[in-house]
């Protein structure tokens, strides 16, 4: 059960993970209940993206100890696509470009793969286009992006917005947003935050990885965690983010050392 006592969305216990020979996650615990928004902050290189990738199932990350349960299932036993089909979504810190792969086609294939896996009927091209236009408006994205190959030649901010756009189409149960706010201008940040807030619901949980308090002004988290040295070293409410903004991370590390 999560801290708040609601149904568990994600439960991570004692997670240790290596990248290559190096241990990056060193005994990480995290409980996320349904409908909760958790912010994870922490110094560069502390393992935030590593955690996100381990959750999404990326190759090259070896889990050496601990467990992850997602909606009651053993997440680590699932292939990346199965995780997505069950409702996990990662908005990448560095979204890749897919030359020659049309954005619309890509997203429809993704949505229909997920629907197929769930035994739901697939959407035809026309209904999908309608759905997409509706969601585009929310993010004020230009629909010329849809005719282009995925992320190719997109600006940094456009790539980030495209990630959130994908999220609004795929409607995941658990979204992990890895520094989606980095590289966004002030207006874009607002739009992205609105898009994320519009998706908040009692059934949907979010993990926001961020370096900046600013995003949390728009999206109020239920919990804030500090990840350092591959572990969650402090958790608190949204006031913790404010304190970090003023004081940095050193004081926590100092307190722990004391």
Positions touching ligand ATP (CB under 6 A) are 19-20, 22, 24, 42, 44-50, 93
**At its nearest, how many Å lie between another protein and the CB of residue 100?**
3
Nearer to Mg ion, 48 or 108 (CB): 48
**At its nearest, how many Å lie between ligand ATP and the CB of residue 228?**
9
> Rounded to an integer, what distance in angstroms lies between the CA atom of residue 183 and that of residue 157?
6
In the chain, alpha helices (H): 48-56, 80-85, 103-117, 125-139, 156-170, 186-199, 213-218, 239-247, 250-257
Q: Which does 46 bind (CB under 5 to 8 A by kind): another protein, ligand ATP, Mg ion, none?
A: ligand ATP
Of 212, 223, 97, give the one whose Cα is nearest residue 162: 97
58 binds another protein (CB under 8 A): yes
Q: Are strands 37-41 and 61-70 parallel, antiparallel or unpaired?
A: unpaired
**Residue of the chain from 49, 103, 166, 168 that contacts Mg ion (CB under 5 A):** 49
Quickly count: other Cβ atoms within 10 Å of residue 143's Cβ.
13
How many residues bind another protein (CB under 8 A)? The answer is: 30
Report the run of H or E that residue 209 belongs to, with start and end: strand 205-209
Nearer to ligand ATP, 46 or 180 (CB): 46
113 binds another protein (CB under 8 A): yes
**At its nearest, how many Å lie between ligand ATP and the CB of residue 37?**
19
Contacts of residue 119, defined as CB under 8 A and 6 or more positions apart, other chains included, come to none
152: phi > 0 → left, psi -120 to 50 → alpha, else beta; which? beta
170 binds another protein (CB under 8 A): yes
Q: Which does 44 bind (CB under 5 to 8 A by kind): ligand ATP, another protein, Mg ion, none?
A: ligand ATP
Q: Residues in the site for Mg ion, rule: CB under 5 A?
A: 48-49, 93
């Amino acid at each position: 059960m999560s801290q708040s006592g609601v149904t568990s969305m994600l439960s991570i216990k004692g997670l240790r993970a290596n990248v290559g020979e190096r241990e990056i996650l060193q005994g990480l615990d995290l409980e996320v209940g349904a409908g909760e928004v958790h912010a994870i902050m922490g110094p560069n290189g502390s393992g935030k993206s590593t955690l996100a990738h381990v959750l999404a199932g990326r190759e090259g990350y070896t889990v050496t100890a601990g467990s992850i349960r997602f909606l009651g299932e053993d997440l680590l036993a699932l292939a990346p696509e199965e995780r997505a089909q069950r409702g996990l979504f990662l908005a990448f810190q560095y979204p890749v470009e897919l030359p020659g792969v049309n954005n619309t086609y890509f997203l429809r294939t993704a949505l229909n793969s997920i629907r197929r896996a769930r035994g739901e009927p697939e959407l035809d091209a026309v209904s999908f286009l309608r759905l997409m236009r509706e969601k585009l408006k929310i993010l004020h994205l230009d629909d010329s992006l849809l005719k282009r190959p995925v992320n190719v030649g997109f600006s940094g901010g456009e790539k980030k917005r495209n990630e959130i756009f994908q999220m609004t189409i795929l409607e995941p149960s658990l979204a992990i947003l890895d520094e989606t706010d980095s590289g966004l201008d002030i207006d874009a940040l607002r739009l992205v935050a609105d898009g994320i807030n519009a998706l908040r619901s009692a059934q949907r949980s979010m993990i926001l990885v961020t370096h900046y308090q600013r995003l949390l002004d728009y999206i109020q988290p239920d919990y804030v965690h500090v990840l350092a040295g591959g572990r969650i070293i402090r958790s608190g409410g949204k006031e913790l983010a404010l304190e970090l903004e003023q004081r940095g991370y050193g004081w926590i590390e100092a307190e722990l050392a004391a």
